[in-house]
Amino acid sequence: MRDQASTLRNLIQRQPAPSSSPRTHACVVAFTSGKGGVGKSNLALNVAIALSQLGARVCVLDANPGLSNIDLLCGLNCYWNLSHVLTGAKSLSEVVLKGPEGINVLPGANGLIELTHLDHRKPPEFCERIELFGSAYDFLVVDTGAGIQRSSSQFAAAADVTFVVTTPEPTAIADAYATVKTWHADFSIYPEVIVNRAESEQQAQQILGRFAQTIETFLRCTAPAGCWVSEDEFIQRAVVARQPFLILAPETAAAKQVRQIAKRLFAGARSSRNGSLLHRLSK
């Protein structure tokens, strides 16, 4: 039985980046979480938009099995999705969507887990088309599933940068730690925690500090500093309006904090590790 991430491997092999950058592959940024409902997909989408606004070429891959909704958050309507590419019913160019602010979106498939039963043999031209498509991007932002499912851990461990999203709710924090604890042996670059919907910087820093202390004490490793995004009424308004909040309310604190995350990713992409995501997933 092939795991569901393996059915995506040929979709995300990277090609050389522009000659101005020493990277040979797109920077892969994964967003995951211990539980659903913490704003993971919303953050993934808006960070992708912020990267595009900085001049990067960005594609968002919705790899959230059974709960894909990046297209809805963008205000896009799609029928064809990644499952139709994997089965050969559609070509990639027929499935990829033009998203806001110049990003592209590969819509996920509700029921993607069923694709674990697919025959892994693909026509050579299929893989060639995927590789050619992948060469167009500087960043691949992956919205993984929530929880400790295997596909999420594979994407999280294989990415150049992984964000584990939580909220100040005790259950969300506990689930985020449980996720990191379950996966920690797989990470060569440790994930960074985002405290979403924080009421204040002080609250966020307290959560990040306790999280880091717990990781250092029990997992015996150094946790990244982490970051945070403010609670903001405009975020929920944007979800209802099916618009990214970076577009609907670009001057809010949350939007500014997301842009800071994107600026850090943009600046650090040149120094992140090289090698295709395909190769790292196969380890």
Q: Per-residue pLDDT for 158 more than 60?
A: yes
Give which of 17, 15, 95, 24 is closest to 61, Cα–Cα: 95
Model pLDDT, residue 277: 52
Q: Which domains does the chain have, with CATH numbers?
A: 4-281 (3.40.50.300)
Residues 86-117: pLDDT tens digits? Answer: 777 887 778 889 999 999 998 877 655 443 33
pTM comes to 0.83
Mean pLDDT of 125-134: 53
219 compared with 128, residue with greater pLDDT? 219
The whole-number average pLDDT for the span 216-225 is 86
Evaluate if residue 281 carries a pLDDT over 90.
no
Query: Is residue 159 very low, low, confident or very high in pLDDT (cuts 50, 70, 90)?
Result: confident
Q: How confident is the model at residue 129 (pLDDT cuts 50, 70, 90)?
A: low
Q: Is the pLDDT of residue 82 over 90?
A: no
Tell me the mean pLDDT in the region 1-20.
Answer: 41
Q: How confident is the model at residue 276 (pLDDT cuts 50, 70, 90)?
A: low
230-255 average pLDDT score = 95
